[in-house]
Structure 1
Amino acid sequence: MKKPFISLCLIFAMFFTLTACNSQKVEKIRLAEVTHSVFYAPLYVALEKQFFHEEGLDVELKTTWGGDKTMTALLSDGADIALVGSETTIYVHAQGASDPIINFAQLTQTDGTFLVSRKPIENFQWEMLKGSTFLGQRKGGMPQMVGEYVLKKHGIDPQKDLNLIQNIDYANISNAFASGTGEFVQLFEPTASIFEKEGKGHIVASFGKESGKVPYTTFMAKESYLTNNEETVEKFTRAIYKAQKWVEEHTAKEIAEVVKPQFEDTPMEILETVIERYKSQGSYATDPILDEQEWNNLQNIMDEAGELPVRVNHETLVNTKFAENLSK
C-alpha cells in the first residue's frame, strides 16, 4: 500500500510545484531603443543570457530610430522605458513637462562615434579637417554635440572652418558618404568598421576617447512609471547590472558570440573588432549609476554646442536609487 501512497504524494507535489511556478507573475516591459547598435552590447547580453527572465521580466524591444521618435514613444505611452541620450530629458524638462522623464540607469559612458576619412591618412592630425566637407550628425543630438565639442577642443570652428553638412537624416548618413558625399564623416559602429573593411572609408580618430566620460545613453522612464513600478524598475536595473559585469569580465570574442543573434548580417570578425574597440576605450558603463560629474560634463558639452536650454541639477532628472540599491 506504500507505493500507491508515495506515487499519490509525488503527483500532488508536482501539481503544487507547477501551480507555484505558474503563479509567479511575469511582468512585461516595452523598451524602445533609439537605434540598434553594438554600442549597446550589454543590453543584448541581458536579453540573450536571459538576465531579464531571471528577474521575472519579459522585455519587448523595439527600435525607434532617432531621439525624437524614441521620446515621442515614451511620452505617448507607446513604451514604458526608453534607451536614448540623456540630453533628451533636459529638452523635455525645458518644455515644462508635468510628468518629467527621469534617467535611472546608465548603459554607455562615452560617445560611440568615430571619425572616418574617405582616404587613408597616416599620422592623422585634427587640423587636417580644416577646409574639408564634413558629414556630421543631426543638430541637437548627442553625436553632433560631442562632435562639435571635440572639434572646438582641437581649435576647429565647425561653422567657419568646415563645409558642415547636417541636413541628412540619421539613417541615411552612411549611405550618403558611401555614395560620395563628404571627405569625412562621423559614424557609429559597426558601420565604421564595415566601411573600413570594404575600403569605403578609414577610421582615423575616436570621438569617445576625445570627449571623456558622459552619460551618453541611459535608460529612462516617466517619473510616474518609476513611482508606480519601483520593484519592476529595480529588477530591470539589476538585470542590466548583471550584463554590465558579464561584459566587463569577458572577452570581446565571447561577447560577440552572445550578441550575434542580434546582428545576423554582421560578420563575427567585425562584431569582435567593434566590441574590442568599445571595451578598450571604456564605452560600456561598468555599473548603472549616472553620477553628478558625468551629468555636468553632458551639460557643458550641450552648452558649448549652443543646445542647452536650461541647466538642470543632477537630482532633478536623475534617480540613482535603483542603481545604488544593487551595491548594498
Structure 2
Amino acid sequence: MNKWVKSSLFVAILSLAVLLVTACGEKEELQKVKVGEVTRSIFYAPQYVAITQGFFEEEGLDIELSTVAGGDKTMTALLSDGIDIALVGSETSIYVTAQGANDPIKNFAQLTQTDGTFLVSREKIEDFSWDMLKGTTFLGQRKGGMPQMAGEFVLKKHGIDPHADLELIQNIDFANISTAFASGTGDFVQLFEPTASVFEAEGKGHIVASFGTESGHLPYTVFMAKDSFMNDNPETIEKFTRALKKAQDFVYESSAEEVAKAIQPFFEETEVELIATVVERYREQESYAKDPILDEEEWNNLQDIMEEAGELPKRMDYNELVDTTFAEKVLK
C-alpha cells in the first residue's frame, strides 16, 4: 500500500470518526424533560404519538415519561421538582393555587377537551334514558376528581340529584372501580376506555351514554408546569408544545388503525383492533383537543362544573393560571 493510499484511508477513517462523534454529540444534546402523567390511558393518545413518532426528538427533547397515579400525587411530584411537566386535570392547578402555592402553576397546552368517561350499564338497554338511573346504584369516580364532577354535572343536567335519587358510591380507588363493578357492585358505572369497551366485548357491561358528549368542552387534561420552570425554559416549553401540535394533527389526519399502531408500545397487552375502536370513539366526540390552546370559555365551563359539585375553592382568573403564549406561537 503506497503512502497516498494510506493517507487517503487515514483521512477517510478520521472523517468517519468525526461524523460518528458529531452524531453522538447531537444525540447527547437532546434536552431531557421529565413528564408525569396522572394515569396511563388511550385518552392521552397524542402524547404517546409525539413520543413514538419522534416529534419530541425533532424538537431536540428527550421525554422521560412516568405514570404518577392520582392528581394529588402528580401535583406533589411537580411542586417538589420530581417532574418538570405534569399531565393532569386542570382543576388541580386551581386546588394548588387556592392553597397558596409560592411558585404558581400554569396550564400551557391542552391535550383533551371533554370528559373521557362513559356510562356503562350492567344490563343491555335498547332505548336508554337518563331517568333510568333513578333508584339504582351508581358506581362513580373519586370525589373531587374531574370525572366525578363531570358525572354529577351531567346527572343534574338530566334532572337527577346524585345524592338523593340514586345510591352513589364514590369511595373506591380509581384503579379498583372496574374490578368492583365486574364483581357485582352497582347497576351502572362510570368508566374510562378501554375498560368500557372491554367490558362490552366480554358481556360484563354495555355502553349506554358518553359523559364527554353530555358535559361539553372543558380543559379536561392539560400539560402544566411551575411558573419558574417556564420562565427559565421558554424554548423548551415552546418546543414541547410544537411537538404536541404535530401529534394532534397526526391523530386526526391518520386512520384510527395507524394511531393505534403508533401508541401500542404503551399498551402492549391491548389488541390493536381494540385500541383503534377506542381512538375512533374519542375522535368522533372530539375528546382529543385539535390544538394546544385552552380557551377562556372552556376554563369557565370547568369552574361552573366544579362549583356545581361544591368543589370550587374560589373562582380563579383565566389569565392567572393559563398561559397560551406558546400554543399561539406554535399555531402561527
Does residue 33 (structure 1) correspond to residue 14 (structure 2)? The answer is: no
- CA deviation after TM superposition for structure 1 residue 5, in Å: 6.0
Shift of 1:3: 6.0
Cα distance in 2 for partners of 1:3, 1:321 equals: 58
Counterparts of 1:269 and 1:200 in 2: how far apart (Å)? 19
Kindly report which structure 2 residues correspond to 1:281-296, keeping only aligned pairs within 5 A, or say none.
281-296=285-300
Matches for 1:225-240 after TM superposition, within 5 Å: 225-240=229-244
Q: Pick the aligned partner of 1:48 from 49, 52, 59.
A: 52
Deviation at 1:4, TM superposition (A): 5.9
Q: 1:124 aligns with which of 110, 121, 128?
A: 128
C-alpha separation in 2, matches of 1:240 and 1:64:
20
Please point out which of 23, 42, 51 is paired with 1:21.
Answer: 23
Alpha-carbon distance in structure 1 between the residues aligned to 2:19 and 2:107: 39
Distance 2:16 2:95 in 1: 54
**The one of 120, 126, 145 aligned to 2:149:** 145
2:207 partner SS: strand
Pairing partner for 1:196 from 172, 179, 200:
200
The residue identity in structure 1 corresponding to 2:191 is L
1:163 is aligned to: 167
> Matches of 2:304 and 2:115 in 1, distance apart?
14
- 1:95 alignment partner AA: Q
Task: Give the drift of 1:50.
Answer: 1.4
* 1:105-124 aligned within 5 A: 105-124=109-128
2:32 match: secondary structure: strand
Match of 1:267 in 2: 271
Correspondences of 1:37-116 after superposition (within 5 Å): 37-116=41-120
Question: Residue 256 of structure 1 aligns with which residue?
Answer: 260
Give the Cα separation in 2 of the matches to 1:256 and 1:3. 53
Separation in 1, partners of 2:236, 2:91: 24
How many angstroms apart in 2 are the aligned matches of 1:275 and 1:287?
17
Distance 1:3 1:142 in 2: 71
Question: Which residue number in structure 2 is paired with residue 221 of structure 1?
Answer: 225
Shift in Å at residue 10 of structure 1? 4.2
Q: Which 10-residue stretch deviates more, 51-60 or 174-183?
A: 51-60
Give the % identical residues. 66
2:266 alignment partner, SS class: helix
Q: Which amino acid aligns with 1:275?
A: V
Q: Which amino acid aligns with 2:168?
A: L
**In structure 2, what is the Cα distance between the partners aligned to 1:96 and 1:23?**
43
TM-score (norm: length of structure 2): 0.95
SS at match of 1:326: helix
For residue 189 of structure 1, report the CA deviation from its aligned partner.
0.2
Question: What letter is aligned with 2:179?
Answer: N
Question: 1:233-252 deviations in whole A, cap 9, x for unaligned?
Answer: 11111111110011110111
Following TM superposition, by how much is the alpha carbon of 1:2 offset from its aligned partner in structure 2, in angstroms?
7.0
| 2:178 equivalent in structure 1 | 174
- AA paired with 1:66? G
Offset, 1:19:
4.0
User: What's the Cα RMSD here?
Assistant: 1.4
TM-score (norm 1): 0.96
- Separation of aligned partners in 2, 1:5 and 1:319: 58
Task: Work out whether 1:309 is the aligned partner of 2:316.
Answer: no
| Shift, 1:15, TM fit | 4.2
Separation (CA, whole Å) in 2 of partners of 1:180 and 1:33: 30
- Any idea what SS the aligned residue of 1:203 has? strand
Gaps of 5+ in 2: none
What are the superposed Cα offsets for residues 139-171 of structure 1, whole Å, 9 maximum, x if unpaired? 111000100110010000111111000110111
Paired letter, 2:309 = A
